[in-house]
Amino acid sequence: MDGLLRLCDEDIVVANAPEVPGGSGEQRGHDAVREAFAFWPEQWDDFRIEILRVVADPGDHVVVTTRQQGRGKQSGVEVDAEFTFAFAVREGKIAEWRIFLREDQALEAIGLRV
């Protein structure tokens, strides 16, 4: 976690789309990053993330589409879902981390269409 936080601006914005489960809107700072990384693994057994696609624009954005899989700790239900992250990088640090359910939403949010 310390290595990750060194890549993030101290005032990073972490924002979930309203339809993202467990999302708490917009938060700022390193505590928001810690919370975002802690939430999902705490809910699942055998939690895994696979990177499916990375799109970088010529400016300061990177969009990463992932597949997240796991089994609910309480329900035992197997889940396999895609989530997409849009990162804004400024002065060599991640300044924004936005979470979306669909890749097209993330690409549109940063002004790209693929």
pLDDT tens sequence for the chain (114 residues) = 889 999 999 999 999 877 766 656 788 999 988 887 777 667 788 888 999 999 988 789 999 999 989 898 889 999 898 999 999 999 999 999 999 989 998 998 888 775
pTM for the model: 0.82
Specify the CATH number for 2-109; select among 3.10.450.50, 1.20.1630.10, 3.40.50.720, 3.40.190.10. 3.10.450.50
Distance, in Å, from the CA atom of 15 to the CA atom of 23, rounded to the nearest integer, reads: 8
Distance, in Å, from the CA atom of 105 to the CA atom of 72, rounded to the nearest integer, reads: 26
Structural contact between residues 83 and 1, judged by C-beta atoms closer than 8 angstroms: no
Q: Which two tokens stand for residue 50?
A: 């696979």
pLDDT in the model for residue 66 = 95
Q: Closest Cα partner for 99 from 7, 30, 8, 19? A: 19
Structural contact between residues 57 and 112, judged by C-beta atoms closer than 8 angstroms: yes
* Domain spans, the chain: 2-109
pLDDT in the model for residue 23 = 59
